Every structure is written in C-alpha cells, then in structure tokens.
C-alpha cells in the first residue's frame, strides 16, 4: 500500500511538473501583442509583419496588432515603442533603421540602440546597385571604368542610411568622383534613373524591381551573400569581385530591455514554427526582395553587431562622426 501511495504521489508530482512546464511555455503572451513598425502600409516590412501577425494570433490565441508609425527617420516608431515600456509591445523592422541614426544626426533626441533588445531575426533584405538599361552597362567593372573615365559626370542616389553609406563608401574607396543626388522620397529615384537624370541607384531590391522586370533598369549586383530568388540572374557583390559591397540587411523583432531570455527564445521559436508551417510566406516575401531567415536572439544580436562594425568602418571612410545625445 505504501508503495502504491508513493507511486501515485510521484505520478501526481510529475503531472504537475509537466502541466507547469506547459503553462510556462504558454505564459507569453497573456494579452494583445502590438507590433510597431517604422514604415507605412504596403511597405515590405508591413507585408511581412501582417503575414506573421495573422498566424501568430492563431498560434498564441491572442490578437497580434500591427501599428504603422512612419516618419522622423524611424524615431516616431521607436519613441512609441520605448515609451510603452511593455513586453507585449514589440518593434519590427530592419536593424539599420536605428544603427545608422548616430551617423545621420548631429544630435539625437535619444539613442535607441540600447533600448532595442533582439528577439528574433525574421528576414534578410537585399540591397542592390542599379543603372539605366539604356546605359548598356552590365557589370560593376564596367560602371567603375566609366566613372573613372568621366570623373564627376555620373550622378548617383541612394536610400538614406546603409544604402547611402555602402554606395558612397565604395565610390570613395575606389577613388571615384560621383555626384550624390539627395532624395526626400527614394521611390521617385527609379523613374529618374530610367529618364537618365541619375545614372546609379542603391536601394533595397524591391524599389527598382518593377522597372527592372520591365527591362528599363539593370540590376548589377545584390549585396547579400546569396543571390535573391526573385532575381536569380543578378550576381552577388562577392561573385562580381567587389566584396566591399557586401552587406546583409537584417530585419526582425525587438523587445524592451529586461524581457527574459526564455521568452525571447519562445517568440523566436514561434516565428520559426509559423514560417515552417506556411511556406507561402517565404514565396510571397521573395517578391518584395526579402528572404525569410528566422534566427535566435543570440544569432540576431551577432548579426546586428556585425552590421555595427561595418558601419564604423564605412563612417571612418566617409569622414562621418558618431553623434552624441
């Protein structure tokens, strides 16, 4: 009888432990989760966020609401995220949206970097260097030779942030004189590229892709380490012989400081679960120049550090100083 009682006690204890573990796994979220984005509706980040949000809502049994907070070089969204100081309010976007800010502003209202805790890498966004198809330039080699032969005659534009740093850092390192044309709205640049008002453009691949598919723009390289599925014939910068143009623009989810490691691990695992169960997400995001790449908090943090290190080198090359608050 004593043995039977002991066995029952052990079974009950084990059952309680298992139910406790299951409860711990489901401890997050306990209410609605907000995903704050730095870009507007229909942006690549918005498309990705909404595809994951719908499926996470089903998985978690709690609403996942996407909030678009564009403007102010990302500060509008980051201020909303940081002010909330709530582990059920997350920020989703490219890490470059805040890693580049100290080099773009003389005085920051606040440094968002320390307040952005990596949770899960979700995508890799390809950047590209493109030219008008009418120029009959097919390679970076040919572009470099032309820029060298005609110093100061080529006009170039790039999206604010890492595309800008990467392209003009490359020109400076190669000793090329190319005139920078600033844009308030980089979405206007592809039409100007076709019209010949600018001759070189560096942005995310999604920006020139429609006109590239129409044969009016030539994509010379992508900056990712692998070719992009949406443009399989465009070589990587490494394949083209210009590794200095390599840059992995990673995007994902961030939480406020203090979120427990096990919760961040769980969220990353759930993003992976959703991606694995819904391969159509990856196929649809490829059309926007994104590749689904779910990585753990630690791996995401390492990728962001690599990005910061690259930015330090580019800033030195361009003579840019890191601002102070």
| Three-state SS at 126 | coil
Give me the helix-helix angle, 44-60 and 279-286, nearest 10°: 170
Smallest CA-to-CA distance from 304 within 99, 38, 36 is with 99
Predicted pLDDT of residue 324: 64
What is the layout of strands, in order, in the sheet containing 117-125?
Answer: 64-68, 33-37, 89-94, 249-255, 117-125, 290-295
Predicted pLDDT of residue 14: 43
Read off the tokens for 57: 């809502």
Produce one character per residue of 3-31: b if its CB has 16 or more CB atoms within 10 Å, e if not.
eeeeeeeeeeeeeeeeeeeeeeeeebbee
Read off the tokens for 249: 């623009």
pLDDT tens string for the chain (325 positions)?
Answer: 445 444 444 444 444 443 344 444 558 999 999 999 998 888 889 999 999 999 999 999 999 999 999 988 888 999 999 999 999 999 999 999 899 988 888 888 777 888 999 999 999 988 999 999 999 999 999 999 999 999 999 999 998 889 999 999 999 999 999 999 999 888 899 999 999 999 999 999 989 999 999 999 999 999 999 999 999 999 999 999 999 999 989 999 999 999 999 999 999 999 999 999 999 999 999 988 899 999 999 999 999 999 999 999 999 999 998 876 5
Read off the tokens for 162: 């890492």
Q: Which domains does the chain have, with CATH numbers?
A: 31-124+249-318 (3.40.190.150), 127-222 (3.40.190.10)
pTM confidence score: 0.83
Residue with tokens 């994509």: 219
- Bridge partners for 218 per DSSP: 131
- Bridge partners for 235 per DSSP: none
pLDDT in tens, 93-137: 999 989 998 888 888 877 788 899 999 999 998 899 999 999 999
Predicted pLDDT of residue 51: 97
The widest CA-to-CA distance across the chain, in whole angstroms, is: 96
Distance of alpha carbon 96 from alpha carbon 35, whole angstroms: 18
Predicted pLDDT of residue 325: 57
What are the angstrom distances between the C-alpha of 196 and each of 155, 160, 213, 317?
9, 21, 18, 28
In total, the chain counts a number of residues equal to: 325
> Which residues have C-beta within 8 Å of that of residue 307, sequence separation ≥ 6?
95, 96, 99, 162, 247, 248, 249, 250
Predicted pLDDT of residue 9: 45
In sequence order, which ranges of the chain are alpha helices (DSSP H)? 2-25, 44-60, 75-84, 96-99, 101-104, 140-149, 162-173, 189-195, 209-213, 261-277, 279-286, 297-318
Q: What is the number of H-type helices and E-type strands within the chain?
A: 12, 11
Predicted pLDDT of residue 19: 39
For the beta carbon of residue 241, count every other beta carbon within 10 angstroms: 12
pLDDT in tens, 238-261: 999 999 999 989 999 999 999 999
Distance of alpha carbon 72 from alpha carbon 117, whole angstroms: 21
Distance of alpha carbon 168 from alpha carbon 14, whole angstroms: 62
Residue with tokens 């260097």: 129
Smallest CA-to-CA distance from 307 within 160, 95, 97 is with 95
């Amino acid at each position: 009888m004593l043995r039977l009682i002991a066995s029952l006690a052990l079974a009950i204890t084990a059952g309680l432990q298992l139910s406790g573990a299951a409860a711990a796994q489901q401890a997050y979220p306990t209410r609605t989760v907000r995903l704050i984005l730095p870009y507007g509706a229909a942006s690549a980040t918005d498309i990705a966020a909404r595809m994951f949000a719908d499926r996470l809502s089903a998985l978690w049994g709690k609403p996942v609401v996407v909030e678009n907070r564009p403007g102010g070089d990302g500060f509008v969204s980051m201020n909303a995220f940081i002010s909330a100081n709530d582990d059920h309010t997350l920020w989703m976007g490219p890490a470059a949206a805040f890693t580049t800010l100290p080099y773009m502003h003389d005085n920051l209202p606040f440094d968002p970097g320390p307040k952005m805790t990596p949770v899960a890498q979700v995508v890799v966004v390809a950047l590209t260097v493109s030219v008008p198809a009418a120029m009959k330039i097919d390679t970076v080699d040919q572009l470099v030779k032309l820029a060298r032969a005609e110093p100061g005659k080529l006009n170039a534009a790039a999206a604010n942030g890492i595309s800008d740093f990467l392209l003009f850092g490359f020109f400076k390192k190669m000793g090329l004189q190319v005139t920078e044309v600033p844009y308030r709205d980089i979405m206007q640049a592809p039409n100007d590229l076709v019209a010949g008002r600018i001759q070189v453009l560096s942005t995310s691949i999604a920006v020139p892709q429609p006109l590239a598919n129409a044969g009016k723009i030539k994509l010379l390289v992508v900056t990712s380490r692998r070719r992009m599925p949406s443009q399989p014939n465009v070589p990587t910068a490494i394949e083209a012989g210009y590794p200095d143009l390599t840059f992995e623009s990673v995007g994902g989810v961030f939480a406020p400081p203090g979120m427990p490691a096990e919760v961040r691990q769980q969220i990353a695992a759930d993003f992976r679960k959703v991606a694995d169960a819904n391969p159509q997400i990856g196929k649809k995001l490829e059309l926007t120049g994104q590749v689904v790449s779910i990585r753990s908090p630690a791996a995401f943090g390492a990728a962001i550090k690599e990005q910061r290190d690259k930015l330090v080198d580019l800033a030195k090359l361009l003579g840019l100083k890191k601002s102070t608050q």
